[in-house]
Amino acid sequence: MNKNIEHMHTGLPLVFVVDDDEAMRHSIVCLLESANLPCRMFGDAGAFLEFCDPRQSGCLLLDIRMPGMGGMELLERLQTDGVSMPVIIITGHGDVPLAVRALKSGAFDFVQKPFHAQDLLDKVHAALKQVRETRHENLKQDSLRSRFDVLTGREREIMEFVVSGGTSKVIAIKLGISPKTVDIHRSNIMKKLNVQTIAELVQSRLALRDDY
């Protein structure tokens, strides 16, 4: 199986190269492959968009000036489509202000032509490190969220009071139930979330993103 196709199927990070200059594309791909970085190249933004899957992790090396849809337009399109991979802008000397604008619009970094090979590789490695860290954090969030999702509505309600510092007596008064019932719910909450102390419960709740 082609190595790039294999990486696509396994979900491993790929480096995408979008540049209308064929010689530049092949030069960058040769550099990336010499560093054992799996990659795929495209001659224009449209070809990349046709291929792009938001579920595919990786980073994008993007020429800022291309016929048709330019780099800035593609960057904005990816953001609109919810594609969050880091984008490294490839720019000529005269396009530095445009590259700075791209950074303000969410690009990860930019590199000027002609660039030093190691400089480009360093930026790619930094981008892929961010990809790995983001994926690790997302996996942690998914695992944490799956534990919280088993809580009943009443358990979630009591949990929020507990992490806010409420005692069983205070929670019981607010909910119109007995302190013993609150204690039973709290015990069930701790078991379902696999935490031993209130401090661990608070830390777990704070670790969840705000959209929970």
Band of pLDDT at residue 3, cut at 50, 70 and 90: very low
Both 118 and 175 in a single domain?
no
Percentage of residues of the chain with pLDDT beyond 90: 58
Q: The dihedral of CA 107, 108, 114, 120: what is its sign?
A: negative
Query: 58-63 and 87-91 as β-strands: parallel, antiparallel, unpaired?
Result: parallel
Instruction: Let me know: does 107 contact 87? Beta carbons within 8 Å.
Output: yes
Both 131 and 159 in a single domain?
no
d(C-alpha 53, C-alpha 50), whole Å? 9
d(C-alpha 54, C-alpha 174), whole Å? 45
The SS3 assignment for 105 reads coil
User: Domain count of the chain?
Assistant: 2
Domain hosting residue 196, numbered range: 150-207
Q: How far is CA 118 from CA 21, 26, 40, 58, 122, in A?
A: 21, 17, 19, 19, 6
Both 128 and 191 in a single domain?
no
CATH of the domain at 41: 3.40.50.2300
Q: Is the pTM for the entire model greater than 0.75?
A: no
pLDDT, tens digit, for every residue of 71-128? 989 998 998 888 889 999 998 877 778 888 888 888 999 998 889 999 999 999 999 9
Domain membership of residue 155 (yes or no) is yes
Last residue of a domain, one of 75, 110, 137: 137
pLDDT of residue 7: 44
Last residue of a domain, one of 137, 171, 198: 137
pLDDT of residue 32: 95
Q: Would the pLDDT of 189 be above 90?
A: yes
Full strand arrangement of the beta sheet holding 39-42? 39-42, 14-18, 58-63, 87-91, 109-112
Assigned token pair, 43? 């001659």
CATH of the domain at 199: 1.10.10.10
pLDDT, tens digit, for every residue of 135-182? 888 888 888 889 899 999 999 999 999 999 999 999 999 999 999 999
